[in-house]
Structure 1
């Protein structure tokens, strides 16, 4: 039977609750990932921060990125909107991860079955499942990509 131990990525990056959302965004970008388990000083899982959490938080602040190929501001641009976006970006850079992270966790232990993992991902509509030990310390993570890679390499016998 396929277990979480077989699928999980043990080179999991994590972040602390007091880190800034800006730090998290840099980690996402530099490592081409979309989620970070949030752990306390003892490496115990306390939350997860995903790109979706940041997008929802940003939209609540009405932070809209200004994307322009020329990098010029049109003379017709409402400058008050730029100022509002700047304040929003400043707020994001100062906001701690714990204020944005998802606290309702879906996690598994290393002996969770393939079926359990798939069921949790489907019912929770999630893409990341942290793997913890019996003391809730983070030992790995399983993403949809990890699941697909495992299937491609090994097939499924369940």
Structure 2
């Protein structure tokens, strides 16, 4: 025999409205970005100093032109070692950056963004508004959003 609830319908209670958790709520707006003319050594120093794994590359108008990562820097180190040479001082971000960059909309639900991270295998996505870089969202930001959720639903 199951448990029967004799309380009946509760009056005066309204169901909670679920507000979507957006990328804009968790994106970083204090962005460490790079210029195409910077050297790979400068990028490596910045990555280490700020404990980040990469960052967007922007032009003078703050328009996104690429993204550079630890992997791009390691590739430059590996190539210089292969030729038994130090890292070339003329080796710039422009030569090493990835120019095919996927972006995310600031108004996207954070869990849709999580799926995009899984599908693309990226660690970060730039966020643009009117062609200008306004933010960056990382996998860690999605984790922070998940931890802050209260309740039993992921909506």
If the TM-score is normalised by the length of the shorter chain, which range does it land in? 0.7 to 0.9
Which of these two proteins has the greater Rg computed from alpha carbons? 2
Instruction: Give TM-score scaled by structure 1 length.
Output: 0.77
1:152 is aligned to 2:150? no
RMSD over equivalenced CA pairs, Å: 1.9
Structure with the larger RCO, 1 or 2 (CA within 8 Å, 6+ apart) = 1
Alignment match, 2:33: 14
CA contact (8 A) 2:114 2:139 kept: no
1:55 is aligned to 2:55? no
2:91 to 70, 86, 95: 95
CA-CA distance at 1:62 after TM superposition: 5.0
If each structure's helix is expressed as a fraction of its own residues, which one has the higher value?
1
Q: Secondary structure in 2 aligned to 1:109?
A: coil
Alignment match, 1:107: 103
- Structure 1 pair 123–56 and aligned structure 2 pair: CA distance change class (3 A): farther
Count of aligned residue pairs for this structure pair: 134
Q: CA deviation digits over 1:30-68, x for unaligned, max 9? A: 100001100011001111101011123333x1527xxxx
Q: Secondary structure in 2 aligned to 1:141?
A: strand
Q: Gaps spanning 5+ residues in structure 1: where?
A: 65-80
Q: Gaps spanning 5+ residues in structure 2: where?
A: 1-19
Instruction: Give TM-score scaled by structure 2 length.
Output: 0.78
